[in-house]
Amino acid sequence: MRLAVLLSGRGSNFAAIHEAIGRGELAAEIAVVVSNVRDAGGVQRAREWGYRVELLPQGEFESRARHEEAVLSVLLAAAVDLVILAGYMRKLSPLFIDAYRNRILNIHPSLLPAFAGVDAQRQALEHGVKIAGCTVHFVDETLDGGPIIVQRAVAVHDSDDVASLSARILEQEHIAYVEAIARVVAGCRVEGRRVVSG
Ligand code: GRF
């Protein structure tokens, strides 16, 4: 399976996927890394590891639609099977989502459907939940609302702040993303809201 990794930031989830492929745990290859942020940490890592990198900052395009067309044409040219959103801070249009229906994965740092949207770890802490975690899901037109592929939970400690809770969740994100891609590679199906093994 050919993956495109889309990122805007430090790229630790991208690194976890790269390492899992290197260990032979995923029957997949990263065909291209796309970033809308020129100096993202993930871009640096991608270059060091010799991946094809496409930098597409939205400011260089006349509209949101033109920017997205550029991203889509990179994915098409790279014959990508799966689109991996790894801290990609752009909302995708319905057109984009439809072009890769059930082939776009996102990771969110909460146990969805709780705490969708920004600052999920802070939302969880402020709500007072005792169990937090992360979710890898297919992307649909709803905000963090697509069918769930993998979730992993962590305990919230009394002493936690946003930084410590985020760090504990992030460790699980790295495991969850690899598990989720492995499920997709193994042929899981979407039945209504449920993702079931093929
Ligand atoms: C992660 O917390 C992920 O859940 C969220 O964005 C962050 C990306 O981190 N969607 P990284 O760039 O993969 O380190």
Listed in sequence order, the residues at least 6 apart from 58 whose beta carbon sits closer than 8 Å to its beta carbon are: 36, 64, 67, 90
| Interatomic CA distance for residues 73 and 79, integer angstroms | 10
Report the pocket of ligand 1 as residue ranges, CB < 6 Å. Answer: 7, 9-13, 42, 86-87, 107-109, 170, 173
CA distances from 178 to 17, 18, 48, 76, 105 (A): 6, 9, 21, 23, 11
Residues of the chain with pLDDT > 90, as a percent, come to: 99
Q: Quick one: average pLDDT of 143-150?
A: 98
Q: Closest ligand 1 atom to the C-alpha of 106?
A: 10
Mean pLDDT over each residue of the chain, to the nearest integer: 98
Q: Give residue-wise pLDDT tens across range 24-33.
A: 999 999 999 9
| Interatomic CA distance for residues 128 and 123, integer angstroms | 9
For residue 198, name the pLDDT band (cuts at 50, 70, 90). confident
Probe target for ligand 1 pocket from 123, 148, 165, 173, with the most ligand atoms within 8 Å of CB: 173
108: annotated active-site residue: yes
pLDDT of 92: 96
DSSP 8-state symbol, 5: E
pTM across the whole model: 0.98
Probe target for ligand 1 pocket from 107, 168, 174, with the most ligand atoms within 8 Å of CB: 107
| Interatomic CA distance for residues 192 and 33, integer angstroms | 30
Residue 175: both structure tokens together: 């495991």
pLDDT of 98: 96
